[in-house]
Amino acid sequence: MNNSWETYKEALFRKMPSLRGTLNEGASEEEIRAVEEKMGIVFPEPLRTLYLENNGDNGEKWCGMILGHHFLDLDELYRNWEGWRDIINDWTPEAVADTSINSSVPEGSVKRRYADVLWLPISEDGSGNHIGIDLDPDVKGKVGQVINFGRDEDEKYVLAESLSAFFERLARIVNSEDFFIGEIEGEEVIFLGEDSEEEGSSLIDYLKDNDSVK
């Protein structure tokens, strides 16, 4: 896991050195255990390793560390998870798992539901959508797979089979012809697929595209 995260970071910093200063120092084992205890969840080892290396980004730039998404620190991870847990508790089980709305790609890999307390958000787009770690996969999925979920994400995709594979994929995207650096309100931002805000894809949409860099 360390190697893929480091490879991705260095690829991104070569293109956008200004992001280097946005990463937080790593969390301590005690900080991670405190969040695990509040959630009643044990982090998988790759996620623990990631947070020991860097505890999210500081959110000071418009562009976050996960190809534009902000990398959530442990407190933000917990607050977002808590919000989804409260929604699950407030809704009926039938509403949470409405299979007429929610779908999985590939079929049978992600449980067809709106939210799940075993989906751990590691990034957010500012509009209630996340990339996260799935600890409760469907019958054809794998524990620890990386998925999309959130307010606008009824169609859940397996974006990578593991956290390590996810960062390997992001590094390939940074080094591809689909990666563009633009500007919004005087700040550097990332465009994917096309070199403009109007034509470029959001990160989740780009990763869901079968033609995107695998």
The per-residue pLDDT for 104 is 94
pTM of the model: 0.95
Q: Which two tokens stand for residue 113?
A: 């539901």
Domain ranges of the chain: 2-208
Mean pLDDT (whole number) for 55-65: 94
Give me the phi and psi of 143, to 5 degrees please. -60, 130
Give me the phi and psi of 114, to 5 degrees please. -75, -40
Burial of 123 (0-12, 13-18, 19+ CB in 10 A): buried
The per-residue pLDDT for 195 is 85
Burial of 180 (0-12, 13-18, 19+ CB in 10 A): middle
d(CA 190, CA 184): 10
d(CA 104, CA 14): 35
Give the domain 2-208 fold.
SMI1/KNR4-like (3.40.1580)
**pLDDT cut 90: percent of the chain above it:** 86
**pLDDT, tens digit, 9 for 90 and up, residues 105-161:** 999 999 999 999 999 999 999 899 999 999 999 999 999 999 999 999 999 999 999
d(CA 94, CA 119): 18
Residue 213 has pLDDT above 70, yes or no: no
Q: Predicted confidence band at 197 (pLDDT cuts at 50, 70, 90)?
A: confident
Q: Which of 26-30, 166-170, 180-184 has the lowest mean pLDDT?
A: 180-184
The per-residue pLDDT for 199 is 81
Q: Of 181, 172, 159, whose CA–CA distance to 19 is shortest?
A: 181
The per-residue pLDDT for 98 is 87
